[in-house]
Amino acid sequence: MADGDRLAGKVVLISGAASGIGAATARLFAERGARVAIGDIQTDKGQSLAGSLGDRALFVHLDVTNEASWREAVEAVQALFGAVTTVVNSAGVSIPANIEDETLEGFHRTLAINLDGTFLGCKIGVEALKAGRGGAIVNLASTLGAKSGAIFPSYSASKGAVRMLTRSVALHCAEQGYDIRVNAVLPGAIHTEMVEGYIAAGEAAGATREQVIGNFAQVHPMKRLGRPEEAAAAIVFLASDEAGFITGADLPVDGGFLA
């Protein structure tokens, strides 16, 4: 089978797909023949990405914190493309603030998007995949869910929880005999809008853009930031039939950060 058809038959719903890793993942799935729903709260960016991918793509407005929004998104995808086979939970936020500066409101906002959003993506995802032909769920955790830093109490808490949520859902699906695999990808610093936010914060604190990027690069043994396409390749692999015996796993994409 040609590379371009390898994922023909997959129907993929990706949250947070208007930007960064989610957008790169949508492009790769579409390139390999899958039909892809781009779910996001950023309508203009999401529609424009879907438009650039042609008939194989659809934009659906999806607020991951809202259960009704998930159900509407799944219905819209099923109506156009048929049963969903794959859910990628990529929507997320990271607003650095140490425990003294972080507010309870900020903590709850991060958990609502990163953890509640992934919980709902798994819950509605299992329901949708079970009703169809089975499939795979891939959650975006983070290296910061395995090793923290002083300015990431909320983000690390959310991503550590996403790793354990992933394992529990994977075990449930295996125990029930569902043909549904559930895995987590743990990216290191990947150059997306999220990292641009850190760069802007660094510049506001007096550092140069090059210094902030250099600081990120030097904590990764490969001495560079990752590219969204590199995270997307790992996500697409875990979602593909080639990963048929992999479930409940963490896959770092981090230039050796966690090694």
Ligand X SMILES: NC(=O)c1ccc[n+]([C@@H]2O[C@H](COP(=O)([O-])OP(=O)(O)OC[C@H]3O[C@@H](n4cnc5c(N)ncnc54)[C@H](O)[C@@H]3O)[C@@H](O)[C@H]2O)c1
Task: State the nearest-atom distance from the C-beta of 51 to ligand X, in Å.
Answer: 16
CA torsion angle 231 237 239 241 (round to 10):
180
The residue sitting closest to ligand X, measured at its beta carbon, is 20
Element (H, E) at 126: helix 117-131
Name the DSSP class of 235. H
Residues 79-138 that bind ligand X (CB under 6 A): 90-94, 113, 117
- Pick the catalytic residue from 155, 198, 216, 257: 155
List of E strands, 113-168: 135-140
Q: Site for ligand X (CB under 6 A): how many residues?
A: 30
CA torsion angle 26 28 34 35 (round to 10):
20
Name the DSSP class of 252. E
Task: State the nearest-atom distance from the C-beta of 8 to ligand X, in Å.
Answer: 26
- Read off the amino acid at residue 204: A
Q: Is 74 in the site for ligand X (CB under 6 A)?
A: no
Q: Is 41 in the site for ligand X (CB under 6 A)?
A: yes
Task: State the nearest-atom distance from the C-beta of 160 to ligand X, in Å.
Answer: 12
Q: Is 19 in the site for ligand X (CB under 6 A)?
A: yes
Residue 22 or 202: which CB sits closer to ligand X?
22
Q: What backbone torsions phi and psi does residue 26 show, to the nearest 5 degrees?
A: -60, -45
CA dist., res. 26 & res. 34, Å (int):
9
Q: Are 96 and 152 in contact (CB under 8 A)?
A: yes
Residues 140-169 that bind ligand X (CB under 6 A): 140, 142
Q: Which of 190, 232, 235, 239 binds ligand X (CB under 6 A)?
A: 190
Q: Is 230 in the site for ligand X (CB under 6 A)?
A: no
Q: Is 18 in the site for ligand X (CB under 6 A)?
A: yes
Query: Please, what's the b/e burial string for 158-167 (b: 16 or more CB within 10 A of its CB; e: otherwise)?
Result: bbbbbbebbb
Residue 6 or 227: which CB sits closer to ligand X?
227
Q: Residue 198 catalytic?
A: no
Q: Is 192 in the site for ligand X (CB under 6 A)?
A: yes
Burial of 208 (0-12, 13-18, 19+ CB in 10 A): exposed
Residue 13 or 18: which CB sits closer to ligand X?
18
Known catalytic residues are 155
- Binding stretches for ligand X (CB under 6 A): 15-16, 18-22, 40-42, 62-65, 90-94, 113, 117, 140, 142, 187, 189-190, 192-195
